[in-house]
């Protein structure tokens, strides 16, 4: 699955990587839950009716600047290393994709999600919910202010730890048009044992890793990381999909 620009909105036709060597298998033995989630039969195309091809228009009146700052929530300031995560949403030829809803969710600095099923005994941050959203501008740019998430154990295999990562979701013309992926941080020591990261073919793994951006660092306040999201072509960001097997 991928996206192309259509007017000023993200359009997501059915698509698979042309280079089979860069496709991630839907079922990956080392990532145990894919045995439960991966489809056993060829997906069936369903006709798109009005509810599938239309959706709410998300603009400045519904997505505000405060939605993109995850550090100041719930009456206080989040704990941890403040970071600026920014980049562009691009098509295969480098064209920006404007007016696209980008959402993120992540663990806190201790590696814990504010979620009822997360029972790892790491501290919850009372001022961090881990949720943010922003609309890309006319140059396809997005930016979040957040904290660097911590690693956490997850039980996939012996002593399994997830590397620090931020989940990304991009919406198209309707809520059925959605791309989901994960952004990682450079030089993470946990890459070697993480089956989700390693399910991405080696030649495409760098596309899921952000770049430390010293120029975007806010002096004496926050570090900067850049991560462009490319929707199609040779430099396509690895996405979680059900039809072509790309998983991030």
Annotated catalytic residues are 113, 152, 162, 165, 167
Report the distance separating Cα 106 and Cα 31, nearest Å: 20
Show the beta-strand stretches assigned E in 61-214: 72-73, 76-77, 82-90, 101-105, 131-135, 141-147, 152-153, 161-162, 165-171, 178-184, 211-212
Report the distance separating Cα 218 and Cα 156, nearest Å: 37
165-171 and 223-226 beta bridge pairing: unpaired
Report the distance separating Cα 7 and Cα 159, nearest Å: 48
Q: Which residue shows structure tokens 């806010």?
A: 218
């Amino acid at each position: 699955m991928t996206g192309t620009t259509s007017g000023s909105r993200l359009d997501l036709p059915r698509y698979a990587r042309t280079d089979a060597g860069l496709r991630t298998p839907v079922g990956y033995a080392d990532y145990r839950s894919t045995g439960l989630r991966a489809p056993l039969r060829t997906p069936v195309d369903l006709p798109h009716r009005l509810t599938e091809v239309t959706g709410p228009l998300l603009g400045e009146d519904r997505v505000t600047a405060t939605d993109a700052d995850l550090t100041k929530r719930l009456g206080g300031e989040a704990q941890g290393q403040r970071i600026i995560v920014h980049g562009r949403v691009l098509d295969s030829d480098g064209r920006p994709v404007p007016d696209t809803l980008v959402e993120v969710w992540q663990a806190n600095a201790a590696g814990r999600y504010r979620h009822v099923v997360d029972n790892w005994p790491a501290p919850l941050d009372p001022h961090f919910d881990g949720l943010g959203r922003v609309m890309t501008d006319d140059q396809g740019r997005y930016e979040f202010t957040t904290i660097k998430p911590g690693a956490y154990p997850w039980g996939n295999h012996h002593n399994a730890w997830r590397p620090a990562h931020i989940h990304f979701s991009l919406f198209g013309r309707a809520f059925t048009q959605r791309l989901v992926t994960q952004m990682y941080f450079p030089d993470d020591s946990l890459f070697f044992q993480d089956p989700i990261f390693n399910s991405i073919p080696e030649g495409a793994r760098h596309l899921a890793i952000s770049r430390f951006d010293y120029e975007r660092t806010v002096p004496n306040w926050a570090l900067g990381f850049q991560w462009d999201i490319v929707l199609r072509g040779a430099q396509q960001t690895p996405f979680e999909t059900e039809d072509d097997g790309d998983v991030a």
